[in-house]
A and B are shown apart, each in its own frame.
Chain A
Amino acid sequence: MFKPLLTTLAAACTLALPALAQARQATLSAQLKNYGGNGAYLAVYLVDAKGAYARTLWVAGGKAKYYKHLTDWNRLSAGDAKRLAGVTGASVGAGRTLTVTADLADALIDAGYEIRIDAAAEDMRDSPAEVRVPLSAANAGKAQAGKQYIQSFSYQLQ
């Protein structure tokens, strides 16, 4: 699997170059459509070039019993015991905007990684891979629409 490698890599980077510029703060923002339902659960996560799960960036929605509706994320991240560590918040109401920040190592940018969002709302259809955006410097700031719930998603790198 990729994860131990990533961890090793990250650890190596931290040890070798403890100075600045090894991580950049990314601001992610997703504006929801007025889809006429209860607050949406969203999982924002990274997958690598081969489609393997790398890391969870944010999970909106607090009830674990509904996480199975974030189908892909729930399956892919099942082995990550720390997938929820410090990255959870409330579900996002229709028409609202979710804005969160995440620290991304430089090594992840322009390296074939992809930001994905799974979305679900009560009594409505689950939407795995609602959004898929390559994580690249060039893509930063460009808005992209989701399939069902997300009006527009974009991220800024600092």
Chain B
Amino acid sequence: MAWKWLHRWLGLVAGTLALVLGITGTALSLDPLRNAWQTAPAAPGLSVATLAQQVQAQVPGLEEIRRLPSGMVVAFAFDGDQPQAWRIDPATGAPLGAYQPSMLPRWVKNLHRSWLAGDAGRIGSAVLALAMLGLSVTGLTLLLRRMGGWRQLAGTVRGTLAQRLHVLTGRVLLLVLALTSITALWLSATTFGLVPLDAGAEPDIASTASGGPDLAPGQLPLLQRLRVQDLRKLNLPAADDPQDAWQVSTSTGQGWVDRYGGQTLAWQAATPAQRVQDWALLLHTGDGAWAWALVLGATGLSIVLFWTTGLLLWWQARRLVPRIASNSPPAQADALVFVASEGGSTWAFAQALHAALVQAGRRVHSTGLEHFCVPPGVHHVFVLAATYGDGQPPAHAARALERIARTPAGAAQVAVLGFGDRQFPAYCAFADALAQALHARGWPELLPPERIHQQSPQEFARWGDALAQALGHGLALDYRPSLPPMSELTLLSRQDFAGGADGADAAGDPAVILRLGLPRAGRRLPRFAAGNLLAIVAPGTAVPRYYSLASGTVDGFAELCVRRRAGGLCSTFLHGLQPGDSVQAFVRPNPGFALAGGKTPVLLIGAGTGVAPLAGFIRGNARRRPMHLFYGTRARERDFFFGQELQDWQADGRLHSLHTAFSRTPGGGGHVQDALQRHAAQVGALLARGAHVRVCGSRAMARGVAQVLEALLAPLGLSLAQLKEHGRYAEDLF
């Protein structure tokens, strides 16, 4: 909990200020690129003596030669009264053009390191660097926790777009950010003199007049030994000071040379601190390593991305934080609701439960799971727990399990409801652990533990019905998710499927493929892809129903395949639509299910209306990735959705192979898992080639499919759990 809290607040406070550092840092990273572009590199082994001799011959009034970290050689001279700075071609010593230290205005650098506020600003920047280091360390800790340790660090990242961007960028640039912060702190320390760089006082030197003229630089032994690639700076002796000497600085130290005799007067080796300084400068500025400067530039911009997505995540979580109406004090309550929620969405369910219990005349206290404590007067305890990442508890409830394990059981009956996402291998693992701990402690059970997939209102309502029965009194669960803004979609066309003559089972109900036009005016629909969900809110209802999309934004329409459910408000409403009618809808991502790009084969397995998102994948397969569809339905003439399209797609190469199974047709091939079994060799080969698998349809079908796949994976030394973990296997079930 502390990590997350620290990360959040460091990010919100320091991160906001660090935006300035990030943006200016990116701008500053352009200079090393320009320097690299402008620089003619010196030949390896070229001596300082040779260079100085050539430059002196071509630059009148030469006073100083510098080799910048980028390798650029610059000559400073006085032409009469006019100070000059030239870029030099080290091969010839000839001036190439005037030297400009930076192409940016000076305030950019000063803003970056001192906020244009002198030493106070420098301290501010140093504090920010420390905060960025803190953000990196807490970020890494949270990243490891989310991914499930170092070994899983490279695994697939799941979650909303903001979460994935935040995590993916962090995984790539976190270490660079930490390094940048550390080097910034070092540079601050040397600027404030906390780390001395110099090798003590400079020696007292003077050239000894011999009566002869100055030696030419080419004749000086020290300069002959030193190479240009190590050079920092060479100062020529001043013309008006006969005692002045040559002074040369290199990466290894600095020396002085007598202007008449040519002997080395003194040599001071560079201190270890100076060498660290050189590295810190290289790593922090990228000057002298343009590829690294590119990385640094991207890292600077990443701060903007981190900040934006971080703020979004915080805001999303905050928006969902509850305000519980009529929350009784714990001592007076007869029912307790404990909540463990990462993003805050579980609280919305707790609120509904709380309100329903209050309405039924109960005195209810709702609070975070970390406060687990059951006073004697309590009859019922409800635990609503989300699972975070790889089976982790939500941050605020990190210690809840231990707390429960320490608490002796009371007489109150307990019900545990887990919230999670079936795409994750550790689906509702934390809720399961809680249920086990409570059971092991000996708490009586009110209801067996139940799981809710992707915040499904339907599953929650079902649980509510079971709860009402167990409690023996009515319970009006009114769960209202906070809905995003909606768009108005108009029906373009519909394609009807009659369903079965034997209407006894649900699969026999009529179905329809609806093609909805995207809104041209009003609120546009955000970008969506096949496999995302379209949420439809039927008139007179508050709870949206989700349908898998069989098309993407690029197709220019939203297509759904809907079977009419007896008593289903939304499906009945959709079935009554005629072209020209409109619906209120919004798009919800279906993280983990959408197909990522790639060239590996794709194995699509679907039954009934579950073929819709799979058809969408095939429709969008412009790059002709090898896609194989196993498709089970009742009968070719009754509900063979997308039958014509599938033929067309197979003809134009978007669909590689199609295997069908018609369960109600004699000799039709049974169910889709039977078709898989029949083509076990082909399926096994696809899995061995790293195929990605997407399954959509009913839960019963998915169980059958999983059995077949598991059996085919075993000889390959693989399992479905492993495939899930690597994002190769995902289900969309209803």
Could you say which of B102, B191, B247 contacts A63, with CB atoms under 8 Å apart? B191
Establish whether residues A65 and B204, one from each chain, have CB atoms under 8 Å apart when the complex forms.
no
Cβ proximity bits B177-218 to A, threshold 8 Å, 1 near / 0 not: 000000000000011110011100110110000000000000
CA distance A68 to B190 in the complex (A): 14
Which residues does chain B contribute within 8 Å of A79, judged by CB atoms?
201, 204
Establish whether residues A68 and B202, one from each chain, have CB atoms under 8 Å apart when the complex forms.
yes
CA distance A124 to B233 in the complex (A): 12
Which residues does chain B contribute within 8 Å of A37, judged by CB atoms?
106
**Does chain B have a CB within 8 A of A74?**
yes
Could you say which of A63, A76, A128 contacts B193, with CB atoms under 8 Å apart? A63
Which residues does chain B contribute within 8 Å of A51, judged by CB atoms?
241, 243
**Does chain A have a CB within 8 A of B315?**
no
Could you say which of B76, B102, B201, B235 contacts A78, with CB atoms under 8 Å apart? B201
**Does chain A have a CB within 8 A of B83?**
yes
Which residues does chain A contribute within 8 Å of B102, judged by CB atoms?
123
Establish whether residues A123 and B101, one from each chain, have CB atoms under 8 Å apart when the complex forms.
yes
**Does chain B have a CB within 8 A of A125?**
yes
Establish whether residues B119 and A38, one from each chain, have CB atoms under 8 Å apart when the complex forms.
no
Establish whether residues A74 and B202, one from each chain, have CB atoms under 8 Å apart when the complex forms.
yes
Which residues does chain B contribute within 8 Å of A90, judged by CB atoms?
118
Known: A65-B191, A75-B202, A79-B201. A147 touches B78 (CB 8 A): yes
**Does chain B have a CB within 8 A of A71?**
yes
**Does chain A have a CB within 8 A of B85?**
yes
Which residues does chain B contribute within 8 Å of A74, judged by CB atoms?
202
Establish whether residues B106 and A65, one from each chain, have CB atoms under 8 Å apart when the complex forms.
no
Within 8 A of B (CB), among A45-60: 51
CA distance A65 to B201 in the complex (A): 12
Establish whether residues B101 and A124, one from each chain, have CB atoms under 8 Å apart when the complex forms.
yes
Which residues does chain A contribute within 8 Å of B85, judged by CB atoms?
125
Establish whether residues B83 and A148, one from each chain, have CB atoms under 8 Å apart when the complex forms.
yes
**Does chain B have a CB within 8 A of A64?**
yes
CA distance A51 to B206 in the complex (A): 11
**Does chain A have a CB within 8 A of B17?**
no
Interface size range of chain B in the complex:
20 to 34
**Does chain B have a CB within 8 A of A129?**
yes
**Does chain A have a CB within 8 A of B110?**
yes
**Does chain B have a CB within 8 A of A62?**
yes
Chain B residue with the shortest CB-CB distance to A1? B204
Known: A71-B235, A129-B238. A65 touches B64 (CB 8 A): no
Shortest C-beta distance, B70 to chain A (Å), equals: 13
Which residues does chain B contribute within 8 Å of A128, judged by CB atoms?
238
Shortest C-beta distance, A50 to chain B (Å), equals: 10
CA distance A26 to B197 in the complex (A): 35
Which residues does chain B contribute within 8 Å of A147, judged by CB atoms?
78, 81, 83
CA distance A74 to B190 in the complex (A): 18
Shortest C-beta distance, A83 to chain B (Å), equals: 11
Establish whether residues A64 and B193, one from each chain, have CB atoms under 8 Å apart when the complex forms.
yes
**Does chain A have a CB within 8 A of B63?**
yes
Chain B residue with the shortest CB-CB distance to A76? B204
CA distance A90 to B120 in the complex (A): 13
Chain A residue with the shortest CB-CB distance to B195? A65
Cβ proximity bits B145-186 to A, threshold 8 Å, 1 near / 0 not: 000000000000000000000000000000000000000000
Cβ proximity bits A35-46 to B, threshold 8 Å, 1 near / 0 not: 011100000000
Within 8 A of B (CB), among A77-105: 78-79, 90
CA distance A129 to B235 in the complex (A): 14
Establish whether residues B204 and A38, one from each chain, have CB atoms under 8 Å apart when the complex forms.
no
Within 8 A of A (CB), among B89-135: 101-102, 106, 110, 118-119
Establish whether residues A38 and B235, one from each chain, have CB atoms under 8 Å apart when the complex forms.
no
CA distance A142 to B228 in the complex (A): 44
Chain B residue with the shortest CB-CB distance to A94? B106
Establish whether residues B204 and A75, one from each chain, have CB atoms under 8 Å apart when the complex forms.
yes
Shortest C-beta distance, B476 to chain A (Å), equals: 71
Establish whether residues A129 and B241, one from each chain, have CB atoms under 8 Å apart when the complex forms.
yes
Which residues does chain B contribute within 8 Å of A126, judged by CB atoms?
64, 235
Shortest C-beta distance, A87 to chain B (Å), equals: 18
Chain A residue with the shortest CB-CB distance to B101? A123
Which residues does chain B contribute within 8 Å of A78, judged by CB atoms?
201-202, 204
Establish whether residues B243 and A65, one from each chain, have CB atoms under 8 Å apart when the complex forms.
no
Chain A residue with the shortest CB-CB distance to B84? A125
Which residues does chain B contribute within 8 Å of A124, judged by CB atoms?
101
Cβ proximity bits B209-242 to A, threshold 8 Å, 1 near / 0 not: 0000000000000000000000000010010110
Within 8 A of B (CB), among A2-58: 36-38, 51
Shortest C-beta distance, A49 to chain B (Å), equals: 14
Which residues does chain A contribute within 8 Å of B101, judged by CB atoms?
123-124
CA distance A90 to B204 in the complex (A): 28
Shortest C-beta distance, A17 to chain B (Å), equals: 33
Shortest C-beta distance, A93 to chain B (Å), equals: 11
Could you say which of B76, B190, B196 contacts A125, with CB atoms under 8 Å apart? B76
CA distance A125 to B235 in the complex (A): 10
Chain A residue with the shortest CB-CB distance to B256? A75
Shortest C-beta distance, A56 to chain B (Å), equals: 14
Which residues does chain A contribute within 8 Å of B118, judged by CB atoms?
90
Chain B residue with the shortest CB-CB distance to A36? B106
Cβ proximity bits B71-85 to A, threshold 8 Å, 1 near / 0 not: 000001010010101
Which residues does chain A contribute within 8 Å of B243, judged by CB atoms?
51
Which residues does chain B contribute within 8 Å of A63, judged by CB atoms?
191-193
Shortest C-beta distance, A34 to chain B (Å), equals: 12
Establish whether residues B83 and A38, one from each chain, have CB atoms under 8 Å apart when the complex forms.
no
Shortest C-beta distance, B113 to chain A (Å), equals: 11
Which residues does chain A contribute within 8 Å of B76, judged by CB atoms?
125
CA distance A76 to B202 in the complex (A): 9
Which residues does chain A contribute within 8 Å of B110, judged by CB atoms?
38
Could you say which of A62, A65, A68, A76 contacts B119, with CB atoms under 8 Å apart? A62
Which residues does chain A contribute within 8 Å of B193, judged by CB atoms?
63-65
CA distance A78 to B119 in the complex (A): 26
Establish whether residues A125 and B63, one from each chain, have CB atoms under 8 Å apart when the complex forms.
yes
Shortest C-beta distance, B533 to chain A (Å), equals: 57
CA distance A20 to B102 in the complex (A): 54
CA distance A36 to B100 in the complex (A): 11
Which residues does chain A contribute within 8 Å of B205, judged by CB atoms?
75
CA distance A128 to B119 in the complex (A): 26
CA distance A74 to B198 in the complex (A): 12
Chain A residue with the shortest CB-CB distance to B202? A75
CA distance A63 to B113 in the complex (A): 15
CA distance A128 to B235 in the complex (A): 11
Which residues does chain A contribute within 8 Å of B202, judged by CB atoms?
68, 74-75, 78
Which residues does chain B contribute within 8 Å of A76, judged by CB atoms?
204
Establish whether residues B204 and A125, one from each chain, have CB atoms under 8 Å apart when the complex forms.
no
Chain A residue with the shortest CB-CB distance to B190? A65
CA distance A79 to B247 in the complex (A): 20
Which residues does chain B contribute within 8 Å of A123, judged by CB atoms?
101-102
CA distance A74 to B204 in the complex (A): 10
Within 8 A of B (CB), among A120-154: 123-126, 128-129, 147-148
Establish whether residues B83 and A125, one from each chain, have CB atoms under 8 Å apart when the complex forms.
yes
Which residues does chain B contribute within 8 Å of A68, judged by CB atoms?
198, 202
CA distance A62 to B122 in the complex (A): 13
In this complex, which of B78, B83, B235, B240 has the most chain A Cβ atoms within 10 angstroms of its Cβ?
Answer: B83
Shortest C-beta distance, B98 to chain A (Å), equals: 13
Shortest C-beta distance, A4 to chain B (Å), equals: 15
- Give A residues with C-beta under 8 Å from B: 36-38, 51, 62-65, 68, 71, 74-76, 78-79, 90, 123-126, 128-129, 147-148
Beyond contacts A63-B192, A126-B235: 19 other A-B pairs, Cβ-Cβ < 8 A, are: A36-B106, A37-B106, A38-B106, A51-B243, A62-B119, A63-B191, A65-B190, A65-B191, A68-B198, A78-B204, A79-B201, A124-B101, A125-B63, A125-B85, A129-B238, A129-B240, A129-B241, A147-B78, A147-B81
Task: Give 20 CB contacts A-B under 8 Å.
Answer: A36-B106, A38-B106, A62-B119, A64-B193, A64-B196, A65-B190, A65-B193, A65-B198, A68-B202, A74-B202, A78-B201, A78-B202, A78-B204, A79-B204, A90-B118, A123-B102, A125-B76, A129-B240, A147-B81, A148-B83
The 5 closest A-B pairs by CB, nearest first: A78-B201, A123-B101, A125-B76, A75-B202, A148-B83
